[in-house]
Structure 1
Amino acid sequence: MKTVYLESPKNIRINEIGEPVRKENEALIKVKALGICGSDIGAYRGVNPLVSYPRIIGHEIAGEVLEIGDNSKGIKKGDRVIIDPYIYCGKCYPCSLGRTNCCEDLKVLGVHIDGGMTELFTHPSELLVKAPDNIPWEQIPMAEPLTIALHAIHRTKVKEGEHVVINGAGAIGILMALSAIAYGAVPIVIDIVDERLEFAVKLGIKNIINTVKENAEEKIRKITNGRMAEVVIEASGANSAIRNSIDYVSYAGRIALTGWPKKETSIPTDLITKKELDIRGARTSVGEFEEALKLISDGTVDVEPIISKVVSIDEIPKAVEELSDHPEKYLKINAVLK
């Protein structure tokens, strides 16, 4: 079967490998659709220290169940599913709290272990989520990045009527803004690329700020009538954006850090104390797939416009290269397999 194979950084190709053999606790899945994520681009560029090579990439995977044993999810042969790509140990302290997303021995598909950019894939049955029939195949993988957006919304306990500043207008940032709207909040999206901000406006996100052209702190103060944002979600990973989050947030406000910075950020702890801020990490997701799929199925969060392009499995290596070289051209590229 075909697989997307990353031999080493910048060396990606379609490779032929043998079909997988299902274990008793696993399902055999015919992959029908997948998404190319920023972590796949990081693996391709060689900038993610957690990735070892060679590696099959991909963790935004949806497909049809071909074989499955007994499972608590009630999933059976023929069901349409999306995979939860975060494999946890179930024994460590975070797992004992149900916070399996921060398992001490977490294995993420396509990063720590081989991913799902293949024609056939085996995955633990308990880490499958049934997808509604009305969602087109190319849209189902979008539920995975939507869970990451929802996790940040949940970690900061966003409430109706609150202002939510979102640093970064990539796919995750846009999904965070749409999720904030779904929760009755008012998103304020910040980026340095006009095209991304203009796209956000087309999706109904009214408040945008280009920090190259505008003073973000002043504009946020104006939008919030002087209060500043009750919630700030940092989705870019830029050190300057992480630092600025403390200026953008209100007194007694909440901050979620979702983006992965490449180096440590110096922050003013005196301001954290003065404002008495709640600052929380927001890593991947846990238990949010059902909500993500419902939001897509109901049309509450319309993911179709976010998908810039749909390709075949044979076109994925070129798409990865294109996303790496020209990230400004695309928000999201997904693939559909025959």
Structure 2
Amino acid sequence: MKVLVCETPNKLNFTEQVIPTPKKGESLLKIKRIGVCGTDIHAIAGKQPYFTYPRVLGHEIAAEYVEGDAANLSPGDKVTVIPYLTQGIDIASKMGKPNCATDMKVLGVHIDGAMCEYIVVPTAALITTKGMSYDQLVLVEPLAIGAHAIRRAQIIPGEFVFVIGAGTIGLGIIKLAKLSGAKIIAMDVDSSRLAHAKRLGADYTLNPLGDDIDANLTNITKGDMPTLIFDASGNVQIINKAFNYMAHGGRYVLVGIQNQDIVFSHPEFHKREGTLMSSRNAVKDDFNDIIFKFQNKLLKPDDFITKRVKFKDAREYLSESPEVLKSGIKTVIEF
């Protein structure tokens, strides 16, 4: 089978490998779609935390079940995968948080992922669905990250929610927060992404390259400021500055990740009695939530997929500059 390997930063090559054989507790999948994630782009550029080389990228998966010991699956069934693999015995798992388990290994990050024609994964990681397309399935994992952040935040209908960063994750949060009844303020430096955010339900859009963010937030919220902020940018300067945008009694959820220190004024945060939380990955309930929304037509693949690349052309495409790779919303590699 053909496998695309990221050997070192900015160096990808196709190799030939034997199709793996599943062992007990494993299943063999034939890959049909892989979503290109910010994690992949950062890894290619040499800027991804928790990452080593060489590595096969790819953790947003839509696949066909081939063989294994899944009791409720037959060859040809469509599946997606929870790519955060853990034994499920550590303290986080016991608290219902396998998404941040101490022994967690993420496909395409800590261990080889699915940028290949076939992959073996633990059967327990499979998510089974009926009647869903591969385009829907490849979006389940990235949208589940947004669903997890929404569930962590406990949105109050009618509150002002400020979403920083309108990439795939940010747009997913915008759409899901809108479905939860929030009033959405979206911020990004890319005007095309802000237009996309508007189509997905953002009530207001702001661009820090030309807008006075503090003044606009004050005006929109009538002086209260947003009661809930999501950062999906991973930009440390913006993350630090956004503490000043939080309402008294507000919550701040860090979804994007970067590798520097977060610095903020303790007195300013303290007087707000602010709540700061991170949101990492997703759990099975989040995957099922997104599947339910797809099945009930609350979400559509065309709202997110903006580019398609054939697997045979993936090396050439992924060798483009980070700016090119980040353009659009979601690129899907098709097999």
Tell whether the structures are fold-level matches, with TM greater than 0.5: yes
In structure 2, what is the Cα distance between the partners aligned to 1:141 and 1:208? 28
Aligned to 2:16: 16
Amino acid at match of 2:20: P
1:34 CA displacement: 1.2
Matched residue type, 1:274: K
Residue of structure 2 equivalent to 1:282 = 279
Q: 2:104 aligns with which of 106, 113, 119?
A: 106
Measured in 2, the distance between the counterparts of 1:77 and 1:289 equals 22
Q: Does the 8 A contact of 2:318 with 2:325 survive in 1?
A: no
Q: 2:223 pairs with 223, 226, 237, which one? A: 226
Q: Look up the SS of the partner of 2:192 in the other structure.
A: helix
In 2, are the aligned partners of 1:138 and 1:310 still within 8 Å (CA)? no
1:60 aligned partner: 60
Say whether residues 1:152 and 2:149 are aligned partners: yes
Alpha-carbon distance, 1:224 to partner: 1.8
Structure 1 stretch displaced more, 221-230 or 248-257 = 221-230
SS of structure 2 residue aligned to 1:199: helix
Residue in 1 that maps onto 2:31: 31
1:19-98 matches, cutoff 5 A: 19-71=19-71, 74-98=72-96
Instruction: Tell me the alpha carbon deviations over residues 135-178 of structure 1, each in whole angstroms, 9 at most, x when there is no partner.
Output: 33123211111011111111111122121101111111111100
Q: Is 1:271 paired with 2:268?
A: yes
CA RMSD of superposed structures (Å) = 1.6
Q: Secondary structure at the match of 2:177?
A: helix
User: How far apart are the structure 1 equivalents of 2:101 and 2:10?
Assistant: 30
Q: Is the 8 A contact 1:132 1:293 kept in 2?
A: no
Pair 1:4–1:157, CA change in 2 (3 A):
same
Q: Post-superposition shift, 1:323? A: 6.0
Return the letter of the residue paired with 1:146: L
Displacement, 1:191? 1.1
Q: Encode CA deviations 1:25-74: one digit per residue, 9 max, x unaligned.
A: 01111111110111111111111242211111100011111112155xx3
Q: Is the 8 A contact 1:166 1:232 kept in 2?
A: yes
Q: Check the 8 A contact 1:182/1:301 in 2, yes or no.
A: no
- Measure, in 1, the Cα distance between the counterparts of 2:49 and 2:206: 32
Distance 2:86 2:108 in 1: 15
Residues in 1 aligned to 2:90 and 2:280: alpha-carbon distance in whole angstroms: 17
| Count of matched residue pairs | 334
Contact 1:229–1:248 under 8 Å retained in 2: yes
The two structures have a TM-score, normalised by structure 1, of 0.94
Give the SS at the match of 1:255. Answer: strand
Contact 1:161–1:185 (Cα < 8 Å) also in 2: yes
Task: Report what 1:195 is aligned to.
Answer: 192
Offset of residue 19 of structure 1: 0.4
Letter in 2 for 1:34: I
Deviation at 1:273, TM superposition (A): 1.0
Contact 2:4-2:56 within 8 A present in 1 as well: yes
Unpaired runs of 5+ residues, structure 2, are: none
Aligned AA (1:294)? F
Alignment partners' CA distance in 2, 1:249 and 1:301:
29
User: Is 1:254 matched up with 2:239?
Assistant: no
Between 278-287 and 320-329, the greater mean CA deviation after superposition? 320-329
Q: 1 CA distance for matches of 2:156 and 2:7?
A: 46
Contact kept, 8 Å, 2:86 with 2:98, in 1: the verdict is yes
Give 2:8's aligned amino acid: S
Is the CA contact (8 Å cut-off) linking 1:10 and 1:44 kept in structure 2?
yes
Letter of the structure 1 residue corresponding to residue 125 of structure 2: L
Aligned to 1:215: 212
**Retained in 1: the 8 A contact 2:59–2:108?**
yes
Once the two structures are TM-superposed, the CA of residue 268 in structure 1 deviates from its matched residue by 0.9
1:291-310 matches, cutoff 5 A: 291-310=289-308
Q: Report the Cα offset of residue 325 of structure 1.
A: 4.0
Deviations 1:204-257 (A, max 9, x none): 323100012111122122222222111100111111221222222211111111
Partner Cα distance (1:152, 1:14) in 2? 35
Give the SS at the match of 1:251: coil
CA distance in 2, matches of 1:43, 1:242: 21
Mean CA deviation greater in 8-17 or 107-116: 8-17
How far apart in 2 are the matches of 1:312 and 1:195? 25
- Identity between Structure 1 and Structure 2 (%): 31
- Map of 1:175 onto structure 2: 172
CA distance, structure 1, for counterparts of residue 129 and residue 309 of structure 2: 21
CA contact (8 A) 1:323 1:330 kept: no
Task: Name whichever of 170-179 and 155-164 sits farther off.
Answer: 155-164
Q: CA deviation at 1:294?
A: 1.6
Distance in 2, matches of 1:121 and 1:327, equals 25
State the AA in 1 paired with 2:101: C
**Runs of at least 5 residues in structure 1 that lack an aligned partner in the other structure:** none
CA distance, structure 1, for counterparts of residue 243 and residue 320 of structure 2: 35
